[in-house]
Amino acid sequence: MNTHEFTLVIDHALDDDEQDALYDVGCDDTTPEIEAGRTLLHFTREAASQTAAVASAVLDVEKAGSPVGGVGSNDLVDVPEIASRVGRSRESVRLLAAGRRGPGSFPTGRDGFYSWAAVRAWFADYDSDAVGAPDADALAYDRVIAAADHVVRARALMQGHAQGLRELLPT
């Protein structure tokens, strides 16, 4: 078993009874923090994998009666944020994203936003020093956290509409 760290987001401030319910279902590996009217549950969970750790924590929190609104992730980034994170100018990143500089194949964006997990992996191959020379485990962590956030948010949106959309999920 390995120890995995991540944060779950509850869309409201948990009261004392809700926090007690978390510990009653076994979430004694979390530290709650109230921020801007919501609760951040910082987990340090032992599990066989990051995916298993996040999934078990989401299910435990929901068993305690608190709907999980997301997984703490700063995955959606725009060109200025990418530039800031990699220490380049906005124009440099814009040209890389447009395929006018660099090796091409920059991750596809949508409406001006990109997945940081994908961009960081791209930079790890192109200019690894710009992103701290991440190893495979760090890149996998980014992808798992970003994907978990998307899945948790999608589950909330699918309430009452899941039947037809389940076919889109991998088995």
The pLDDT value recorded for residue 162 is 61
Task: Identify the CATH number of the domain in which residue 60 sits.
Answer: 3.30.70.980
Do 56 and 84 lie in a common domain? no
Provide the domain count of the chain: 2
pLDDT tens digits for 93-112?
A: 999 999 999 999 999 999 99
More confident residue, 73 or 167: 73
Same domain, 83 and 127: yes
Q: Which residues of 21-50 are buried (b: 16+ CB within 10 A; e: fewer)?
A: bbeeeebebbebeeeeeebbbebebebeeb
Enter the pTM of the model: 0.84
